[in-house]
Structure 1
Amino acid sequence: MKTDVEIAQEARLEPIESIADRTGIMPDEIEPYGRYKAKLSLEILKRLQDKPEGKLILVTAITPTPAGEGKTTVTIGLGQALNRLGAKAIIALREPSLGPCFGVKGGATGGGYSQVVPMEDINLHFTGDIHAVGAAHNLAADLLDNSVYFDNPLDIDPHRMVWPRVVDLNDRFLRHVIVGLGGKAHGLPRETGFDITVASEVMACLCLCDDLMELKARLKRIIVAFTREGRPVTAEDIKAVGSMTVLLKDAVKPNLVQTLEHTPALIHGGPFANIAHGCSSVIATRLGLKLGDYLVTEAGFGADLGAEKFFDIKCRRLGRSPDAVVIVASLRALKMHGGRPRSLCHQEDLAALDKGFANLAKHIENVKLFGIPSVVALNRFPTDTDAEIKLLEERCREMGARFALATVWADGGQGGVDLAREVMAACQETSRFSFLYDLNEPIKTKIERIATKIYGAQGVKYEPAAERTLVEIETLGYSDLPVCVAKTQYSLSDNPSLLGRPQGFEVTVREVRLSAGAGFVVPLMGNILTMPGLSRAPAAFNIDIDADGRIYGLF
């Protein structure tokens, strides 16, 4: 059986100019990055401003497990399938971070015959957007330290410098560091740390803006420190904004690539969904909706994380909601949620599947809370039995969800045709979308509504530090912002060991961060970390390149 990278390397790609032309993009609106990648001009949106938008399809999933679900693969396969049915479909995805690529999770370009290509480029440096975000973020950190070093004219409290540094790798050894050692000529010693670049507020600003000048306005509002009197110090105060914006001038433009079947794909922005808002850029979404009949996009991890943030954060920026939601599941993942060991998940076990269905049921309920029609996509594996499939379909239909099998890994777009038909039908249903909370409600009310309604928690506990920060945020006048929860992706709770549909639990908010530029408040629940670490045997061990430039081991 061929690996994903082997399939991608054997593919015959079309020149990116041909993909752009068929998508309706003019020659002067494309900036090629080699033969198969391109940046797109934001002038396209101005040209198409009066054109009606297509249908918006959001792909989410059950709570992820090591057994695998295949959300990105299904997203790509669905886009290919819609095109096979004669629709003009476009895909919008996030840019992969180097951290997971060299860690455990691997890349984020799909798999099998449902991939976006050139797979190696996209998974590695791509067009440099994430590096630009990291450079802009670290420039602000440098200028902040520099301001304190040169007589501290803003009277910044050295103990309340809240802007860390970032790097796009999983590096636990940088979570807590001391900088400025070596004597006065080398800086002033202080304790700080690193986040992974995709958790940067700069990344969130990039993904939520409409153009370069709005990005610049968001960067101005980023809070990097506090004065000794408690006044917030912004990126504008330390005179960082102009230079940060210059570094991001190309990153703000969305990237165009293609799938193995030459379906156009917009890949732009890369916030994680467990520690950030988990959606590709507003710009790419708006562009895809103007260029296609259908835009298929995804939100990270399960409907408790990426999808909730898509609805409550991104939809407020878009001014619209999805027409349908696809919830991806696999039988082996559901059996893990039902207590079956991973090593035995390939064996038929109707009891474990029925028990594990509780997790999928909660995600179906979560989508229903927002009033949007849903389709369950079963990502079928060769070991799935007819009896298991029949049981799952019965359970889904009992809950009022549409159901379809998908074999897009093995069969590409053809393996998603049944799913595409169900999705097209769901898009014709009436959507009664509503947000989970009003922005004018107290921050605690918003957090508790997410915890109780979406996670199924009994309540929320707050550590003293989190309580103090919430009071400060409200005093500063930021209580009307939406909430972007950071918690484990492996459980509906904040405890990664609680699989299935946990009952009777509370979640604990140990810290709260204000992202004034991005425009949301971030409660950190449980032991979630904004800088991941590598496993004992990371994927980096298996990645290599030969003398001809052929890459191996990337997935």
Structure 2
Amino acid sequence: MMATGAIVSDIEIARQARMERIGVIAAELGLHEEEWEGYGRYKAKIDLNVLRRLENKPEGKLILVTSINPTAAGEGKTTVSVGLAQALNRIGRKTVLAVREPSLGPCFGLKGGAAGGGYSQVVPMEDINLHFTGDMHAVTSAHNLLAALIDNHLQQGNSLGLDPRRIVWKRVVDMNDRALRHIMIGMGGKTEGVPREDGFEITVASEIMAILCLTEGLGELKEALSRMLIGYTYTGQAVYVRDLQAQGAMAVLLKEAVKPNLVQTLENTPALVHGGPFANIAHGCNSLTATRMALKLGEYAVTEAGFGADLGAEKFLHIKCGKGSLSPAAVVIVATVRALKLHGGAAKDVLAREDLAALARGFANLQKHAESIAAVRLPFVVAVNEFPTDTEGEVELLKKLCREHGFAVELCRVWEQGGAGGEGLARAVVAAAEGAGEGFVPAYRADDEIPVKAEAIARTFYGAEGVNFSDKARKQIEEFKKNGWDKLPLCMAKTQYSLSDQAALVGRPEGFTITIRELKPSLGAGFIVAMTGDILRMPGLPKVPAALRMDIDQDGTVHGLF
């Protein structure tokens, strides 16, 4: 599919798509009729029994798409992921795409949508970006059910001796709402509950979302829910979900959400869109179940990890691959001329102007991410995602710099041309994936001490000189050792805009250290969150939210979603 004439918006392109009925996509994947359930004409849930039927079938090759540090200029990582999957199918490799579900918060906040772009989108685009099949709402409901049960336990006598001042389980909503970060509840008298401080996080930061994306099957999900920490007693003893016996009811609310969602791309490539944890505050990957299905149903499975390689790829490798015993056959690192010029000091309002010097300086950011992937022994290809404003001189310089450093590089035009614009990238990825390689070599072991794990991540993936811990974090390390929680992977909560923990330090900063101010145990999900900088688990809306550009007419046609 080729773009012609004036630039057309993503939503207009999506509406012009010739989608196949979802039953056709399911049949082409090899699914039996009883293994999927339609949600309208173009969406379906896939039954988990598929994995049991295909248990002995060899898995395909896993391709991870990551990127440089994101900028206001955009990198198009999801667009490249979609385009690459389409291109792999075009060159004869049966490929299944597996990506995250968008969150309503960023959709109405800054992004406006997260289903790819141009002629490399997953569709139906409007459904995917809005309520889709209800997974986000199920996670929200299960999370807030636990919150209600905790406060009811306090009201009904508090037999567990929970200290209201040390309850760590907050509430969630799938919207950017800074006013809810810190609240008081239980006000209004004796019958209204026990007064205490509380707060909201965004749904995709919920530990339940992380669990949904790291467990396979309802049994494992329920067990993981039971391990979640909810707070401490007056004597300092940890209290878990299993102490409230709440895991069963929570799992009931998640019984459909555990099933991956089947949709398609604009070129009818099958796409599993399932789960959506953020990568700056959670582990940033789609569900392990969907990835496993993609590997069983295709020769190749293309997936992505959120934000740059310092966040998404690192967590994908150490958390998701560690949990699922996976190893990518190859990695794609997405970069754009525009973003690298910003990393090189160019101003946002002059990005359409050729600036070879800024591009050369900004290349250092791409270089660091490439070095990080090489350090864990994975082959990679740099995908230069072309924008209409890129000049021939800039594109050639970027390709020249990559080659001088020994990086495989391919120009990618999937936004404009769909799969046809990614065939060169697809062939390079196949060559990398089918070459001899030792597979992923972790930067740390799970049984390393917490400071050792943090140092390994910071030095290998950020280029930091080391890690500092606040007094609070040091006390927590000792507490975690005492409780036996310290032998889990680390999930670094860090700004996505910089290799450092300071968003303004773009490019490739040097001589910096990472400061971990607080640790949060996500025992059900199986990792420890290390909070750095001023990262927040509930974002706020920008000055001009994307929501203000959205509308719907009397015929039900949505405008402004892109």
TM-score by length of 1: 0.99
* Matching residue's letter, 2:458: A
Contact 1:373–1:401 under 8 Å retained in 2:
no
Whole-angstrom CA distance in 2 between matches of 1:441 and 1:398: 36
Q: Among 497, 502, 509, which residue is 1:495 paired with?
A: 502
Q: Does 1:305 align with 2:332?
A: no
2:378 matched to which residue of 1?
Answer: 372
Contact 1:491–1:499 under 8 Å retained in 2:
yes
Shift in Å, 1:461:
1.7
2:64 matched to which residue of 1?
Answer: 58
Secondary structure of the equivalent of 2:492? coil
2:483 matched to which residue of 1?
Answer: 476
Q: Does 1:463 align with 2:481?
A: no
Please list, as runs of the form range in 1=range in 2, the aligned pairs for 1:142-291 lying within 5 A after superposition: 142-291=148-297
Whole-angstrom CA distance in 2 between matches of 1:244 and 1:275: 23
* Matching residue's letter, 1:365: E
Q: Among 423, 429, 434, which residue is 2:435 paired with?
A: 429
1:524 matched to which residue of 2?
Answer: 531
Cα deviation, 1:176-231, whole Å, max 9, x if unaligned, reads 11111111111111011111000000001000001111000000000001111211
Contact 1:254–1:284 under 8 Å retained in 2:
yes
1:451 matched to which residue of 2?
Answer: 458
Shift in Å, 1:385:
1.8
Please list, as runs of the form range in 1=range in 2, the aligned pairs for 1:314-325 lying within 5 A after superposition: 314-325=320-331
Whole-angstrom CA distance in 1 between matches of 2:335 and 2:448: 34
Whole-angstrom CA distance in 2 between matches of 1:316 and 1:365: 21
Q: Does 1:121 align with 2:127?
A: yes
Whole-angstrom CA distance in 2 between matches of 1:547 and 1:106: 21
Whole-angstrom CA distance in 2 between matches of 1:135 and 1:313: 25
* Matching residue's letter, 1:39: K
Secondary structure of the equivalent of 1:224? strand
2:412 matched to which residue of 1?
Answer: 406
Count of aligned positions: 555
2:3 matched to which residue of 1?
Answer: none
2:4 matched to which residue of 1?
Answer: none
Shift in Å, 1:400:
2.3
Shift in Å, 1:349:
1.0
Cα deviation, 1:243-263, whole Å, max 9, x if unaligned, reads 000000000000000000000
1:5 matched to which residue of 2?
Answer: 11
Contact 2:112–2:547 under 8 Å retained in 1:
no
Contact 1:486–1:522 under 8 Å retained in 2:
yes
Aligned Cα root-mean-square deviation (Å): 0.8
Whole-angstrom CA distance in 1 between matches of 2:347 and 2:264: 37
Whole-angstrom CA distance in 2 between matches of 1:485 and 1:139: 27
Q: Among 544, 548, 551, which residue is 2:551 paired with?
A: 544
1:97 matched to which residue of 2?
Answer: 103
Secondary structure of the equivalent of 2:506? coil
Cα deviation, 1:461-491, whole Å, max 9, x if unaligned, reads 2222222222111110011100000010000
Whole-angstrom CA distance in 2 between matches of 1:83 and 1:60: 20
Whole-angstrom CA distance in 2 between matches of 1:384 and 1:151: 66
1:535 matched to which residue of 2?
Answer: 542
Shift in Å, 1:33:
0.4
TM-score by length of 2: 0.98
Secondary structure of the equivalent of 2:459? helix
* Matching residue's letter, 1:150: Q
Q: Among 371, 375, 391, which residue is 1:385 paired with?
A: 391
Q: Does 1:355 align with 2:328?
A: no
Cα deviation, 1:124-159, whole Å, max 9, x if unaligned, reads 000000110011011111111111111110011111
2:55 matched to which residue of 1?
Answer: 49
Shift in Å, 1:56:
0.4
Secondary structure of the equivalent of 2:334? strand
Q: Does 1:486 align with 2:493?
A: yes
Secondary structure of the equivalent of 1:384? coil
Contact 2:285–2:306 under 8 Å retained in 1:
yes
Secondary structure of the equivalent of 2:224? helix
Whole-angstrom CA distance in 1 between matches of 2:473 and 2:153: 28
Contact 2:100–2:286 under 8 Å retained in 1:
yes
* Matching residue's letter, 1:442: E
Q: What is the identity percentage for the equivalent residue pairs of Structure 1 and Structure 2?
A: 59
Query: Where does structure 1 lack aligned partners over 5 or more consecutive residues?
Result: none
1:78 matched to which residue of 2?
Answer: 84
Cα deviation, 1:344-389, whole Å, max 9, x if unaligned, reads 1121111110100000000001101110100000000122122212
Secondary structure of the equivalent of 1:237? helix
